[in-house]
Structure formats: C-alpha cells, structure tokens
Structure 1
Amino acid sequence: RREVIIPHHDTVIEEEDHVIVFCTHKRLVPKVEKLFQVSFSFL
C-alpha cells in the first residue's frame, strides 16, 4: 500500500505499515516512543 493516511481515532496500524511521526519538541520523543512499545504481556 503506498498511500498517506491522516490518522483518526479509529485508525489501526497494521503489520508491515510504516509510521512517521514529527515531534515539535525533543522532550516529547520518549512519550511518542512509549506509544509504540509492545507490552510484555503481548508476547
């Protein structure tokens, strides 16, 4: 799939999707990284 999607509340990231996130402040990077972490119970 080669398309740009503007995410909404019901957008689902699927396997093999690529996500690009732009942060306006470096201090927000750890919070964004945490959003994409898989929980231990997921494995």
Structure 2
Amino acid sequence: MQLSSLFEFILEVGIAEYPFFFSVRTIVAVETAASTLNSVME
C-alpha cells in the first residue's frame, strides 16, 4: 500500500472540498503522525 499516493489523493480531495479547514487539519494530522512514528521507532 502506497501511503504517499493515498495521502496525495486525500490531500487533493480535501483541498478541493475544504481548502482552509482541511489544510489546518492536515498540518495537525501530519504532526500527530510524525510524533507517533517517532514513538514507535524509539
């Protein structure tokens, strides 16, 4: 499963539907995912 492709698809759809709201949600989601990955990899 290609996470980058899935993320790009969600990003494109989200931006098309809710530009500002989705951009804020995306930033929060990316930061949350990054911190989660860091915790898992430690």
TM-score by length of 1: 0.31
More helix as a share of residues: 2
